[in-house]
Amino acid sequence: MNQSGSSKKYIILAEDDEDDRLIFKEAVNELSSPFEIRIAEDGFELLNFLEKPNIELPHLVLLDLNMPLINGFECLETMKKDERLRHIPVIIYSTSGNTEDIEKAYSLGANYYLSKPESYAQLKEVIQKVLETNWTIAINQSNKPF
């Protein structure tokens, strides 16, 4: 897990595919976002990091579904059952557009389900919307934020 000692707002991307991680980080950096991006290479690494005492929790978690060791569904379920972590907005970020996966993600507490865009330009556009969304408000609304 990439860490820094800054108090800048940060998001965590849990993604096992190295190319997807690099492209996502590059897109966030190009957007001049106020958020720092941190990476977990799988669900196990994500949960290990989040369960450390006295860490500043992320403002948002983007979670791939198909990861080794602990998959995205398992991470999501664990986070939403943990009193300390359940308030963190979680966006599923997956190649799967399967209706069953989407329904399962929402039933486990996902705040939004985002299919991975097919182009870099679309990725930047989607990331911009995600980072501009006030998730505290969006979580309390019944409709999807975008």
pLDDT per residue as tens digits for the range 14-72: 999 999 999 999 998 888 778 889 999 999 999 999 999 888 999 999 999 999 899 99
Domain map of the chain by residue range? 10-139
**Residue 134, CA atoms < 13 Å, CB-side half-sphere:** 4
Question: Which residue did the predictor score with more confidence, 138 or 134?
Answer: 134
| Per-residue confidence (pLDDT) for residue 3, from 0 to 100 | 46
Measure Cα distances from 54 to 49, 50, 83, 104, 119 in Å. Answer: 11, 10, 15, 31, 38
- Whole-model pTM? 0.84
Q: Which CATH superfamily is domain 10-139 in?
A: Response regulator (3.40.50.2300)
| Per-residue confidence (pLDDT) for residue 130, from 0 to 100 | 85
